[in-house]
Amino acid sequence: MAELLFEIFCEEIPARMQQRAGQDLSKALVDGLKKAGLTVEGEHCYTGPRRLVFTADIPLRSPDISEERKGPRVSSPEQALAGFMRGAGLSDISEAEIRTDPKKGDFYVALIEKSGADSADIIAPLIPEIMNNFPWPKSMKSGTSNFRWVRPLTSMICVLDGKVISFEVGGVKTGNTTEGHRRHGKGPYTVKSFKDYRKQLEGPKKPHGHVMICTCERKDKILTDARAACKAKGLELVEDEGLLNEVAGLAEWPVVILGDMDKGFLELPDDVIRLTLKTHQKTFTVCDPKTGNLAPHYIIVANQIAPDGGEAIKKGNGKVISARLSDAQFFQSEDAKKKLEDYYDKLDTVVFHKKLGSIQEKADRVAALARTLADNIDADPDKAEQAAKLAKCDLVTQTVIEFTSLQGQIGAQMYRRENGDADIATAIEQHYKPQGPSDAVPTNPVAVAVALADKLDTLVGFWAIDEKPTGSKDPFALRRAALGVVRIILENSKRIPLDFFLRSHSNFIFSSMINKKSSEMNKKVSEGLKAMQHLGKNVDVTSFDDDFPAINEIEELAELTDSQMQNLLAFILDRLKVYLRDKGISHDIIDAALTEGQDDLLSIVNRVEALQTFLETSEGENLLAGYKRAANILKAEAKKGELPAGAPNKPSEKESVALYEALQSASPKIEFALNDENYTKAMSELATLRAPIDAFFTHVQVISDDTAVKENNLRLLAQIRDTARQIADFDRING
């Protein structure tokens, strides 16, 4: 085995892309080498701000391959021989051997010898192929070249067993030299092997290139040094894996510096400080281990060993951070000059969607819906309405404009400071939740009402104007909203007749759209008249750019409401299926329990869960088998002619009587239990049919020669089927 060392050196790769690029490069290389017949051992990929490095052990040549291929008999027709020759790559049939088999007689055998290739000859075309098709999330051209890479490519090392493999990618030739750290590691460094490469770049012997090539080691160093720097001052680092990954991708030789800020800034909300430090400055927050509160310090990760011990770097960062936090303080104090509710008026300047109007209009719709939903959620309707109107107000505060991810939190904070109602504050804070499958769901009833109304309004609105997600395109995150609806309802065990709410809200949206349009038109007409009276002034009645749909367009959309809302309900039920599947319930059971016209998610899930439990018992399993048998016979008989209608008469045979009586007794009990939504009870009633069904099939000849008996038996089977179907569509269950 020989060592392959490959380094791609380029201008700064975005930190977020480095790790994935390393994995992609490693996989493509290993797959390509293996496909060419080479064994690959000990492969490893290192990534950093300016380089991707791959190393592995591979043989110097791919093995020779010899293979025998059996051909047709010697006496075979021309065509068969030609086909054989083509397949085996022979130019003349004389190149094949003739073998004799006692049974088959004489036949041809082709001996195919493929000699191996030098690994260098395999690699030289393989790597350009990989790099030319590299899956960067975003790539670019540079200078005069058409080659695309994440940023301009500078150089490449490709060394196998100490020798350079020569090839060219995007106008750059391979070699055996690289550069070190931009400031501390001026090269070139000429390398023979990976060990040599690493030693020259990392040391410990100086001079070295000041490049820590392994991300893990850079992360370790940052973490260890940051903890130590904090500890030395009696502080504690607030660890953040995401930020750690990012800063490890921004420095080749990370140097940790403890910075400080004015204590006064600590009056800002923790999240504002954290976000400023993290997203804008990529610095870690630091806390006081005794109190757990933020401390007026932060950890800078530099890429520079400065002769002044980092004083200038610390000062520079401190200045930027102060300026940013001063801005935040300014925003906060400006925001606090008004009460949260005073921002409501300004919400009409923010567009939610051009056809669905402003955020203010949305807030009004959510408020109306939250009020009507309140009953089903045991929430105070006045509070729900009030909270929904206030929930969006912080969107126009300067703090949220600057720190968008704090939406909800800032509003709640302002409202609490005004000594507002605690439930309403919670609702303002949590109404965007859940933001993803792992985000918590609100539990406070007022918050539940607003969160649910907000998502339903979004869904109904986009369905109403026919902007549904298609394929991978879901620009308004409607799948997430629908999953949010599912989770809020189920995790709070609320009964919501969705169909009713979807339709009534859709109607509400259309009537508000029409009202808005007609009042706008009235306004324009009166302005036009005024202008005509004053003559001179020219009023543009056609208006500049009006994206809001015209009345006839709104009416056209409104006519589709029925089918759109049906479609939306199906969309939400699809999210429910995904949600249940993730909980380990197989899709056939969900399909079986999902019968038409159901819109109460809680009831569906209760049914699904009872069915799943039931089918795991031996009663359930046998009953399913009995059901299938009954259904199959009915299907087969239906093909021969119409099935006998009506209820069965009381039969004469013993087993038939037992089944008849069991059905007579079970059916109403099941119906009763279902009305009561007691699915477990319904299942156990259904289970009582198991023994009579089994006995019936064992002892009774269903397709009797006596037509009357046969017809009655079929009626009995139909009743088994219909009774079971009251609970679920057992046809859809596999098994």
CA distances from 241 to 13, 213, 222, 400, 438 (A): 19, 19, 11, 25, 18
Among 465, 466, 555, 467, residue whose Cα is nearest residue 511: 555
What's the closest the beta carbon of residue 438 comes to other proteins, in angstroms? 26
Count Cβ atoms below 10 Å from residue 20 Cβ, excluding itself.
13
DSSP assignments along 335-347, one per residue: HTTS-GGGGGGGG
Task: Tell me the two tokens of residue 364.
Answer: 């009004």
Task: Tell me the two tokens of residue 75.
Answer: 């006496």
474: which residues sit within 8 A by CB, 6+ positions away? none
What is the rounded distance in angstroms from the CA atom of residue 9 to the CA atom of residue 153?
Answer: 6
Q: Which is nearer to other proteins, 93 or 401 (CB)?
A: 401
What's the closest the beta carbon of residue 306 comes to other proteins, in angstroms? 5
Q: What are phi and psi of 26, to 5 degrees?
A: -60, -45
What's the closest the beta carbon of residue 64 comes to other proteins, in angstroms? 43
Place of tokens 């968008």: 404
What's the closest the beta carbon of residue 355 comes to other proteins, in angstroms? 10
Q: Which residues of 227-246 are buried (b: 16+ CB within 10 A; e: fewer)?
A: bebbeeeebbbbeeeebbeb
Tell me 195's DSSP state. Answer: H
Q: Which is nearer to other proteins, 282 or 629 (CB)?
A: 282
What is the rounded distance in angstroms from the CA atom of residue 4 to the CA atom of residue 428?
Answer: 58
Q: 268 near 332, Cβ under 8 Å?
A: yes
What's the closest the beta carbon of residue 322 comes to other proteins, in angstroms? 10
Q: Which is nearer to other proteins, 182 or 192 (CB)?
A: 182
Q: Which is nearer to other proteins, 135 or 735 (CB)?
A: 135
Task: Tell me the two tokens of residue 116.
Answer: 């191996």
What is the rounded distance in angstroms from the CA atom of residue 295 to the CA atom of residue 235?
Answer: 8
Tell me 277's DSSP state. Answer: I
Q: Which is nearer to other proteins, 144 or 470 (CB)?
A: 144
Q: 488 near 442, Cβ under 8 Å?
A: yes
Q: Which is nearer to other proteins, 152 or 203 (CB)?
A: 152
Count Cβ atoms below 10 Å from residue 548 Cβ, excluding itself.
15
Contact positions vs other proteins (CB under 8 A): 11-12, 14-16, 49, 138-144, 150-152, 154, 182-183, 250-251, 281-283, 300, 302-304, 306-308, 312-313, 315-317, 319-321, 323, 349-351, 354, 544-545, 547
Q: Which is nearer to other proteins, 148 or 629 (CB)?
A: 148
What's the closest the beta carbon of residue 282 comes to other proteins, in angstroms? 8
Among 704, 724, 690, 586, residue whose Cα is nearest residue 653: 704
Q: Which is nearer to other proteins, 140 or 525 (CB)?
A: 140
Q: Which is nearer to other proteins, 132 or 139 (CB)?
A: 139
What's the closest the beta carbon of residue 544 comes to other proteins, in angstroms? 6
What is the rounded distance in angstroms from the CA atom of residue 507 to the CA atom of residue 555?
Answer: 11
What is the rounded distance in angstroms from the CA atom of residue 574 to the CA atom of residue 552?
Answer: 32
What's the closest the beta carbon of residue 281 comes to other proteins, in angstroms? 5
696: which residues sit within 8 A by CB, 6+ positions away? 655, 656, 658, 659, 716
Tell me 504's DSSP state. Answer: H
65: which residues sit within 8 A by CB, 6+ positions away? 37, 112, 113, 114, 116
Tell me 276's DSSP state. Answer: I
What is the rounded distance in angstroms from the CA atom of residue 478 to the CA atom of residue 508?
Answer: 20
**CA 500 from chain center: how many Å?**
30
Q: Which is nearer to other proteins, 65 or 305 (CB)?
A: 305
What's the closest the beta carbon of residue 480 comes to other proteins, in angstroms? 24
Strands 153-160 and 172-175: parallel
Q: Which is nearer to other proteins, 316 or 668 (CB)?
A: 316
Q: Which is nearer to other proteins, 34 or 315 (CB)?
A: 315
Count Cβ atoms below 10 Å from residue 658 Cβ, excluding itself.
17
Task: Tell me the two tokens of residue 416.
Answer: 């609490």
What's the closest the beta carbon of residue 475 comes to other proteins, in angstroms? 15
What's the closest the beta carbon of residue 293 comes to other proteins, in angstroms? 24
Task: Tell me the two tokens of residue 138.
Answer: 């975003």
What's the closest the beta carbon of residue 264 comes to other proteins, in angstroms? 17
Q: Which is nearer to other proteins, 134 or 697 (CB)?
A: 134
Q: Which is nearer to other proteins, 350 or 578 (CB)?
A: 350
Q: Which is nearer to other proteins, 327 or 621 (CB)?
A: 327
What's the closest the beta carbon of residue 258 comes to other proteins, in angstroms? 14
Q: Which residues pair with 503 in a beta bridge?
A: none
What's the closest the beta carbon of residue 457 comes to other proteins, in angstroms? 20
What's the closest the beta carbon of residue 230 comes to other proteins, in angstroms? 19
What's the closest the beta carbon of residue 280 comes to other proteins, in angstroms? 9
- Three-class SS of residue 293? coil
What is the rounded distance in angstroms from the CA atom of residue 685 to the CA atom of residue 538?
Answer: 79
Q: Which residues pair with 426 in a beta bridge?
A: none
Q: Which is nearer to other proteins, 233 or 319 (CB)?
A: 319
